[in-house]
Amino acid sequence: VTPNPLWFVDRSSGEVTLLLLSCVIVLGILRSALPTVYPRLAEGLHTNLALLAIAFGVAHVFAAVLDPFAHLGAVDALVPFASRYRTAWLGLGVVSGYLIAIVVLTSWPARRLPRIAWLWLHRTMYLGWLVAFVHALATGSDATNRLFLLLDLLAVAGVLVVFLSYRVAEGWPTRPFLRVPLAAVAIAAVLGLAVWAVNGPLQPGWARSSGTPPDLLRTR
Amino acid sequence: MVRRLTAGGIVAAGGLGVALFAQTAVSSTGSSDVQGAIVSVIGAVFPGAGLRPASSAPSPVPPGTVPVATTHPS
C-alpha cells in the first residue's frame, strides 16, 4: 500500500504542534517569572505562537481524519478512547486537545475569570503538553526516527530547564516547602516519560502491542 | 518587533513542517519514490518540461508492434 501524503502531513504537523506548544510554555514561564523583561514581546509571542500551534494542531487532526489508512472519523477525533486504532494512545491525543482548548478558551478573547481561577486553568497546559507528548510517542510512527527523537528531547529539556530555573526558583526563598515537591514532580514526570518511552514506543513490536488493528499491521 | 518575530516563527514552523514532511515521506517510501512523486507533480504542472520519474514504468508500446528478440552484446 502506497502511503497517502496526508499521512505525512498528519505526522509532520503533529510534531510541529508539539514543538510550538513547548515554545509557548517556555515563553509563558519567562513572561510570568520575568515580568519586566520585554513584557509585551514575551506576551505577544506567547499568544501568537499559541495560535500558530492551534493552526498546526487543527491541520494534524484534519489530516488524520482525511487520511484513509487508519479509517478515523469525526467521532474518533472528538470522543476520547472511541477509536479502534491504538485506542488508548489516540484517546490521549483527544484529551490533550481538550485540555489545551480549555487553556485557550479561558484566555481569549479576554480574561473574564477571577485571576486565581484563570491561573489554575492556565496551568493545565502543563498536563495537556505532557499528555500530548505521550500521545505523540505512543501513537506516532516516528518515535524511533532520529530527527523526531532529537526534536522531542530538545523540547522536553528546554521546558524542564526553564521550568526549574524560573518557575521553581522564582519563589524559592519564600516558599521552599512548595517548590521542592514542585521540582520533584517535574523531574519525576520527565524521568517517567523517558523510562516509559524506552521500554514502550522505542521497543520493536510497539505497533502491535499499542493496539494497531491486525489488518493494518502489514500495510505500513 | 512582535510581528517580525511572529512572522519568523511562522516561517520557521512552516519550514520545519516541510522538512519533517519530507523526512517522513523518505523514511516511509524511500527517496526514489519521493523524487518520483516530486517529478510527477512538476510534470503535471509543467507538462511541456518533459520530466518523468526515473523509476517509472516504460510507456506501453503502440498496438500491433512486433516484439524483437535481442541478445546481450557480451
Q: How distant is the Cα of B32 from the closest Cα of chain A, in angstroms?
A: 13
Model pLDDT, residue B5: 93
DSSP string, A80-119: TT--SSSHHHHHHHHHHHHHHHHHHHTTSS---S-HHHHH
Encode pLDDT of B19-60 as tens digits: 999 988 888 777 666 666 556 556 656 666 666 655 555 566
- Nearest Cβ partner for A142 among B6, B9, B24: B24
Chain B residues close to A41, C-beta within 8 Å:
1-2, 5
Encode pLDDT of B58-68 as tens digits: 566 777 777 77
A149 interfacial to chain B (CB closer than 8 Å): no
pTM, to two decimals: 0.81
How high is the ipTM of this complex? Answer: 0.83
Measured torsion, CA atoms of residues A144, B26, A56, A72, in degrees rounded to the nearest 10: -80
- Amino acid in the structure at residue A114: P
In the predicted structure, residue A201 carries a pLDDT above the cut 80:
yes
Hey, how many other C-beta atoms are within 10 angstroms of the C-beta on A4? Answer: 14
Q: Label residue A218 by pLDDT band (50, 70, 90).
A: low
Q: Which of residues 11-50 of A touch B (CB under 8 A)?
A: 11-13, 15-16, 19-20, 23, 40-41, 44-45, 48-49
| C-alpha cell at position A50 | 499559541
Q: How distant is the Cα of A210 from the closest Cα of chain B, in angstroms?
A: 19
Q: How many residues does chain B have?
A: 74
Integer Cα distance of B10 and B65 in angstroms: 56
DSSP string, B1-64: -HHHHHHHHHHHHHHHHHHHHHHHHHHHH-HHHHHHHHHHHHHHH-GGG----TTSPPPPPPTT
Cβ atoms of A176 and A113 within 8 Å: the answer is no
Q: Which residues, at least 6 apart from A181, have a Cβ–Cβ distance to it below 8 Å?
A: none
| C-alpha cell at position A125 | 497546559
Cβ atoms of A135 and A116 within 8 Å: the answer is no
Q: Cα–chain-centroid distance for residue A112? A: 26
Average pLDDT over residues A1-21: 88
B24/A220 CB distance under 8 A: no
DSSP class of residue A33?
H
